[in-house]
Amino acid sequence: MRVTVLGAGDAFSSGGQRQSGYLVETDSATFLLDCGTTTLLALKTLRIPANRIDFVAISHLHGDHFGGLPFLFLEYLYEQPRSRPLHIAGPPGIQERVLALHRVMYGELSTRNPSFGPEFHQLPPGRPARVCQVELLPFRVPHQVDEISLGYRVAVDGKSLLYSGDCGWNEDLVRHAQGTDLFICECCFFETRTSYHISYPQLAEHAPRLDCKRLLLSHLGREVLERLPQLRLECATDGLVLEV
């Protein structure tokens, strides 16, 4: 399993980093965890063909996590045509919100019936799913009040990873991290404490309890980036490649 950080930044692109997106390449499938508005830019910067992607798993319906999908659709229509479906998995409401965003951004282009689908998979929290030979366990995390935000435990080809999405600290992270090869965990703040994002001191406190082989902090906000030289936990950067 190879994981490429397409975007390690927050919604504000703090520190000039791109918005959330992680490319996971395995023998069985190639897929994205989240697709922020800068995802296509990242793929082209890193010279990774977008049509290699089999599916996209969206954690929640905030623009910095799914706003890049219409740009992928446009790419597949004009620049990198594909004949196989693009599968998109996500929380309840994923299909309606993605198609609505596409209509707002590209109007009549969104009414075309492209050869790539897309095909949507609505994932209720706690119900395991299999998408393109990849096992997904979506679980609800505390981030939004009126909509569902998901974290994902992913298993494929004998490897496993945990992706927190955006969330406040919660004990489900400890449970789902157990035995994983990689845990990509959000870390938006340092001083600020909220119920909907995790701060670095919280992660430093709980890190010894995380039974994962590697912990990578991402979705880094300004408060964290200002203190990078003094942090002992590994932090993601745009373009970082991990062999898992």
Query: Catalytic positions, please?
Result: 64
What gap in Å lies between CA 244 and CA 4, rounded to an integer?
Answer: 11
What gap in Å lies between CA 93 and CA 90, rounded to an integer?
Answer: 8
Q: DSSP string covering 57-102, please?
A: E---S-HHHHTTHHHHHHHHHHTS--SSPPEEEESTTHHHHHHHHH
What gap in Å lies between CA 5 and CA 242, rounded to an integer?
Answer: 8
Token pair in block for residue 121: 């998979």
CA end-to-end span of the chain: 5
Residue 238 near residue 18, CB atoms below 8 Å: yes
DSSP 8-state symbol, 117: -
Starting at the earlier edge strand, list the strands of the sheet with 21-25: 119-122, 87-90, 55-57, 30-35, 21-25, 2-7, 241-243
What gap in Å lies between CA 35 and CA 59, rounded to an integer?
Answer: 9
